[in-house]
Amino acid sequence: MHVQFCGAAQEVTGSCHLVEVGKKKLLLDCGLIQGRRNDELRNSEEFPFDPASIDAVVLSHAHLDHSGRLPLLVKRGFNGPIFGQRATGDLGRILLDDAAYLLGKEATWENRKRQRQRKPPVEPLYSDDDARKAMRRFKRLDYHAPREILPGVTLTLHDAGHILGSSIVDLDLKADGKQRRLVFSGDLGHRDAPILRDFELLDSADLVLMEGTYGNRLHRPWNDTYEELRAVFTSADARRGNILIPAFAIGRTQNLLYLFSKYYDEWELDRWSIFLDSPMAIRATDVYAIHTDLYDKEAVQVWRPHDNDRLLPNLQYCPSSQHSQRLNTMKQGAIIIAGSGMCTGGRIKHHLKHHVWKDTTHVMIMGYQAHGTLGRAIVSGADEIRLWGETVKVAAKIHTVGGLSAHADADGLRTWYRAFQNKPPVALVHGEADTMRALAKTMHDEDGAKAKVPALGETIDLAHVGSSF
Ligand SMILES: [Zn+2]
Ligand SMILES: [Zn+2]
């Protein structure tokens, strides 16, 4: 009985852990490596196991850094079931569809270049057909409903409070006369976040795999963030300009719409027409609207989808590019929420081209912007940006609202860990090596935890966990 760290070991993305129980092999997550181009090239490498030998997968949540290599796993021979929470199935379908579309587009671009250079064409990592095949293997589970998914493996999901459907994976393992409880945190949410319930606490385990994304950071209080948002919306003049919001389609966008609904009067939102200009965000918002049983108590009160399924009286969806193009003529009074979140593609680039050069425009950046992205250039105060080969002046007011993270901070992670009454050994995953080493030290010194930061490929013997720590 053992667990091997096959991804997101000393890095954030590419979550993937292999659990072997007797003769059975179970994979926890199968995520894409995301980030710099050289890192992303690793996605096409061989898996460190034979995909056909895997008996089942458990998916902690739909984000691509956890789900994005599932179509490749299926393409390379995996033919077992994929278990996850119901909403993870719905969001997973949207995310994997989009990933396949983007991979296809990238390959087309690359092949045009290669043709000019007389090089043989490349194939995309996977197709939309592979993505659909993967999601057909998905088995929808509820939280708190134990299920024997393989002989000797009973799975229970608990709410992780990170995005809709996100789960803490709780495994009861039996083999060779031994029984072990392995708990994998998945990504843990930011407590008191809009819409979702807080992560659940578990009280015992033999080994914990815990994420450490923000293991050395503390978030600012929610109220400071709400105050910052209020200031932007009430100070902007709807009679003179527009507000552009590059959107992260899943999670962040729904949080923002929910806050719009909750603070509609305080933020004087009736002065604006609000446009959700992202097909993916629209689909995701529809999924959020279906799963109201997963909301926290306040969200059930605040965010009732209206009769016509609209969340706000002045919200309009722009499903097609014609809808989107019509916004180009709006000189004032529009709040435009459009993908992508880091302005690397999607419709936001068109809106930037039409409005970012005016000093009456506001741009609200709502999340982390990776190095080298257009979003990063904008938050760094660039005077001009490049759009489709054209130089465009940046005169708009840029606002950075950083407090809407979907991840627990160091306090949140340690609170979650301290609920385990038996102080189980903990392996930290899904974080930068330095961040997680700092977290491991704090947890050792202050929480009495045996914590380690396993290397890629490292194995822990579940029958003798103590010997690894
Ligand atoms: Zn996530
Ligand atoms: Zn993640």
- Which ligand is in closest contact with the Cα of 190? 1
Å from CA of 278 to ligand 1 middle: 20
Question: How remote is the CA of residue 216 from the centroid of ligand 2, in Å?
Answer: 16
Residues 6+ apart with CB under 8 A from 420: 183, 202, 203, 204, 205, 208
Let me know whether 61 and 196 are in one domain.
Answer: yes
Q: Are residues 246 and 395 in the same domain?
A: yes
Q: Whole domain around residue 14: which residue ranges?
A: 2-217+406-468
- Contact assessment for residue 104 and residue 178, using Cβ atoms and an 8 Å cutoff: no
Alpha carbon of 337 to ligand 2 centroid (Å): 23
Do residue 227 and residue 205 come from a single domain?
Answer: no
* Domain co-membership, 351 together with 448: no
Do 192 and 328 lie in one domain? The reply is no
Residues 118 and 233 in one domain: no
- Using the 3D structure, point to which of 400, 419, 442 is the last residue of a domain: 400
Shared domain check, 206 and 250: no
**pTM assigned to the model:** 0.94
Q: 246 in helix, strand or coil?
A: strand
Q: In this structure, are 237 and 204 located in the same domain?
A: no
Ligand 2 centroid to Cα of residue 29, in Å, is 10
Report how far ligand 1's centroid is from the alpha carbon of 246 (Å).
Answer: 19
| pLDDT value of position 183 | 98
pLDDT tens digit sequence for 361-374: 999 998 888 778 89
In the reported structure, the alpha carbon of residue 407 is separated from the centroid of ligand 1 by a whole-number distance in angstroms of 8
The answer for 371, left when phi > 0, alpha when psi is -120 to 50, beta otherwise, is beta
Please give the tally of structural domains in the chain.
2
Q: Are residues 420 and 340 in the same domain?
A: no
The Å distance, Cα 184 to ligand 2 centre, comes to 12
The pLDDT > 70 percentage for the chain reads 99
What pLDDT is stored for residue 256 in this prediction?
Answer: 94
Q: What is the whole-number distance in angstroms between the Cα of residue 156 and the centre of ligand 1?
A: 19
Which ligand does the CA of 164 lie closest to?
A: 1
Residues 143 and 291 in one domain: no
Which ligand number lies closest to the CA of residue 405? 1
| CATH code at position 254 | 3.40.50.10890
pLDDT at residue number 304: 67
Pick from 183, 196, 307: which is nearest to 250 by CA? 196
Contact in structure between 225 and 263 (CB atoms under 8 Å): no
- Please report which ligand is nearest the Cα atom of 32: 2
Stretch 15-24: mean pLDDT: 97
364 and 434 share one domain: no
DSSP characters over 285-327: HHHHHH-GGGB-HHHHHH----TTS-SSTTEEE--SHHHHHHG
Mean predicted confidence (pLDDT) in 175-201: 97
**Per-residue confidence (pLDDT) for residue 414, from 0 to 100:** 98
Residue-wise pLDDT tens digits, 148-186: 999 999 999 999 999 999 999 999 999 999 999 999 999
**CB–CB of 278/338 below 8 Å?**
yes
Provide the pLDDT for residue 405: 87
Quote the mean pLDDT of the chain.
Answer: 94
Ligand having the closest approach to the CA of 15: 2
Ligand 2 centre and the CA of 1: distance in Å? 26
**Ligand located closest to 63 CA:** 1
Note whether 100 and 205 are same-domain residues. yes
CA of 269 from ligand 2 middle (Å) equals: 33
Which tens digits make up the pLDDT trace of 273-283? 999 999 999 99
Please tell me the distance between residue 36's alpha carbon and the centre of ligand 1 in angstroms.
Answer: 18
How many residues make up the chain in this entry? 469
Cα(405) to centroid(ligand 2), Å: 12
**Structural domain ending residue among the three candidates 371, 400, 429:** 400
Residue 353 CA, ligand 2 centroid: distance in Å = 32
Which residue, 343, 365, 400, sits at the end of a domain?
400
Q: How far is the CA of 30 from the centre of ligand 2 (A)?
A: 11
CATH number of the domain to which 184 belongs = 3.60.15.10
CA–centroid distance, residue 56 to ligand 2 (Å)? 20
180-215: buried (b, 16+ CB within 10 Å) or exposed (e) per residue? bbbbbbbbbbbbebbbbbbbbebeebbbbbbbbbbb
Per-residue pLDDT, averaged over 412-434, amounts to 97
Q: How far away, in angstroms, is 8 Cα from ligand 2 center?
A: 9
Determine the average pLDDT of the residues in 34-56: 93
Considering the chain, what percentage of its residues have pLDDT values greater than 90?
Answer: 90
As given in the structure block, the two tokens for residue 105 are: 């587009």
126-140, 176-190, 210-224, 293-307: the lowest-pLDDT one: 293-307
Q: How far is the CA of 104 from the centre of ligand 2 (A)?
A: 23
From the CA of 14, how far away is ligand 2's center (Å)?
8
Ligand 2 centroid–CA 132 distance in Å is: 22
413 alpha carbon – ligand 2 mean position (Å): 14
Q: Note the pLDDT of residue 309.
A: 53
From the CA of 33, how far away is ligand 2's center (Å)? 10
